Amino acid sequence: MKKQIPVIVMSFLLLVIGLGGCIQEIAGKTDSDGDGVSDSSDAFPYDPEETKDSDGDGIGDNADIDDDNDGYKDVEDYMPYENAKIKIVIEAFKVIDFVDFGTTQYNAQVYFEIYIDDNKVAQAPSEGQFWDIDVGKLTTVNWQYTYDIPDNVLTHTVSIRMYDADELFNDQLDIDGHDDTRGCTVSYNIVTGEWTGDDSDGITDGSDDGTQTTDDDDAYLEYSITTV
């Protein structure tokens, strides 16, 4: 009498054989869904339609309409896989002129105001604080600030204003070398990382506008803007 294999065992063997036909290997690594991405790198190892989940919300990037979960749909988001932020770095600066009219004061108390899209977002080094520096000397600080921006807007206005703090009132220093305005205002593209306006290379000098008297409040600034 022949022995019969129990139905349950037979079903299990058929299942294993069937799965074995679907599982592939990529350079020695298992690819369970056969989508060309190994299980170890696949956020959805058993779904051939999905491989990534950029925002970790459990929905694959192909099906997810907001891949960075920032509230902006991918079709209107210029940075669809990351929540874009603008990073501004005040790298170094110098006060060129004597900052108090009619005096030869050799030091200045410098602070900066940062505006993005016409809104003041930060003050450097911090609110109510300043750097006490020597006039005519380049001072390196590498102060940094990061600001979350709406990703569905391609260009953003960034304005940097430099001041000398005094007891009676604070003087805005001239870091715009192009005209009679004093602040540096640019239009920043979050995709290309380039900007245009009062400056385009991260170096601006108020004395470049031709008004170089010793009490003209001219100043020099090195800075950078990046998308992070």
Fold observed for domain 85-227: Immunoglobulin-like (2.60.40)
User: What are the structural domain ranges in the chain?
Assistant: 33-64, 85-227
| pLDDT value at 16 more than 50 | no
Most confident of 66-75, 82-91, 138-147: 138-147
Q: What is the mean pLDDT of residues 122-148?
A: 96
The whole-angstrom separation of Cα 193 and Cα 213 is 35
The residue that leads in pLDDT, 131 or 42, is 131
pLDDT reported for residue 44: 79
Q: Are 170 and 109 in contact (CB under 8 A)?
A: no
Strand-by-strand arrangement of the 85-95 sheet = 139-148, 85-95, 219-227, 203-205
Tens-digit pLDDT profile for residues 169-227: 899 999 998 767 899 999 999 999 999 999 999 999 998 876 554 557 899 999 999 99
Residue 96 reports pLDDT greater than 50: yes
CA distances to 81, 90, 113, 145, 170 from 193, rounded to whole Å, are 17, 16, 21, 16, 32
Give the pLDDT of residue 36: 76
Threshold 0.75, pTM exceeds: no
Q: Specify the higher pLDDT residue, 208 or 114.
A: 114
What is the model's pLDDT at position 53?
64
Rounded average pLDDT over 155-160 = 98
- Please name which of 162, 48, 171, 152 lies closest in space to residue 114, comparing C-alpha atoms: 162
Place of tokens 């509230």: 71
Judge contact between 186 and 196, C-beta under 8 A: yes
- Tell me, what's the pLDDT at 59? 66
**What is the pLDDT at residue 138?**
97
**β-pair partners for 120:** 115
For residue 56, count other CB atoms closer than 10 A to its CB: 8
- The tens digit of pLDDT for each residue in 38-48 reads 877 766 777 67
The per-residue pLDDT for 66 is: 64
The mean pLDDT value for 101-109 works out to 68
Cis peptide before 150 (omega within 30 of 0): no
CB atoms within 10 A of CB 180: 8
**Mean pLDDT, residues 5-30:** 53
